[in-house]
Amino acid sequence: MSQRRLRVGLIGCGRIGRVHAENLSLRLPQAQLCAVCDTTRASAEEVAGRWEIPQVTAEPEEIFSDAAIEAVLICSPTDTHADYIVAAARAGKHVFCEKPIDHDLRRIDTALEAVRNAGVKFQVGFNRRFDANFARVRRAVVSGEIGALRQIHITSRDPAPPPVSYIRSSGGLFLDMTIHDFDMARFLTGEEIAEVYTQAGVLVDPAIGEAGDVDTAVTLLRFRNGTLGSIDNSRQAAYGYDQRVEVLGSKGSVATANRFPNDAVISDGTSVRRDLPLRFFMDRYQESFVAELAAFVESVLEDRPPAVSGEDGRAAVMLALAARKSHQEGRPVRVEEVG
């Protein structure tokens, strides 16, 4: 690994931006967080003060124009992603961008074209690929350890729904939540999805339906190689953050369970029990957030292809759009219909 440190600027000091700022400051010695930006300057100042980051701005252009900054992390609202990717690429800076790239495929294509023309590295923030349990599932599948692929099931449920104000700007369940699971389905199997069929409804909070979204969904997948899959999502699971996968092959299966704060099991005269799973994604995927940034930094310093490409980001959006179309029209939708 190179001994040089990658000089990084971060745009967006909300929840995920703060996670990345902490990881860059404390856990990634191969990178140096030089500047933070948020259009609400007070947020940027708070992050900079906590982690002793020297440069603070409310203007993204100051990040793009700073010749000392080599790479940009985009953690701002989704509707800014594509424009910031283009601006960073044209400035010759490598880019890490949180999902999704955009909700519109044409804007995604414009951003990816800018990245290609500039010859910079570009990685999309699908952190679950870097979780050790899911990485082991992928190895078992793509190595042939469990034989020929037959079925995959992904469970992904949040402990509680986000605020309705967030729902309105999120792009909806499929583009905000299920998009992670579409990416995992592609990643875990190494196969492309040909068709989706979705059933969804409002079973958690009527206000989510009033905002034009759904909070509960089951999506069936048909892969190009004939493998069958399913994803079940809910915005609320009373017991915590539910993240599980099972894959069936001709020689066996591989599965992952939820992560818990401890391994203790209590047995008494009435029950055998344990504590609830970790409560949300910042606890469940703490290590994977570090690992994905480490992979991005190394791809730049070692001149390697990014671990999660722009095309991966585009494919997940296509699947989310196909799932939404399936729900709206009440029929299976071939992915090529939205591409």
Q: What is the pLDDT of residues 149-176, one digit of tens each?
A: 999 999 999 999 999 999 999 999 999 9
Query: What whole-number distance in Å separates Cα of residue 318 and Cα of residue 299?
Result: 26
Domain 129-284+316-337 maps to which CATH number in 3.30.360.10, 3.30.565.10, 3.30.70.360, 3.50.50.60?
A: 3.30.360.10
Q: Within 10 Å of residue 40's Cβ, how many Cβ atoms? A: 11
Side-chain-facing half-sphere of 36: CA atoms under 13 Å: 29
Range name among 9-18, 86-95, 239-248, 272-281 with the lowest pLDDT average:
272-281
As a whole number, mean pLDDT of residues 61-66 equals 98
Position 2 scores a pLDDT of 55
CB distance 101 to 317 below 8 Å: yes
pLDDT averaged over every residue in the chain: 97
Report which residue type is found at 14.
G
Q: What's the whole-model pTM score?
A: 0.95
**CA 315 to centroid of chain Cα atoms:** 13
Q: Taking the domains of the chain in order of start, what are their residue ranges?
A: 6-120, 129-284+316-337
CATH topology of domain 6-120: Rossmann fold (3.40.50)
Give the residues across from 267 on adjacent strands: 272
As a whole number, mean pLDDT of residues 109-135 equals 98
Range name among 66-70, 279-283, 288-292, 331-335 with the lowest pLDDT average:
279-283
Position 139 scores a pLDDT of 98
Domain 6-120 identical in fold to domain 129-284+316-337 = no
Q: Within 10 Å of residue 236's Cβ, how many Cβ atoms? A: 14
- In this structure, the chain runs to a length of 339
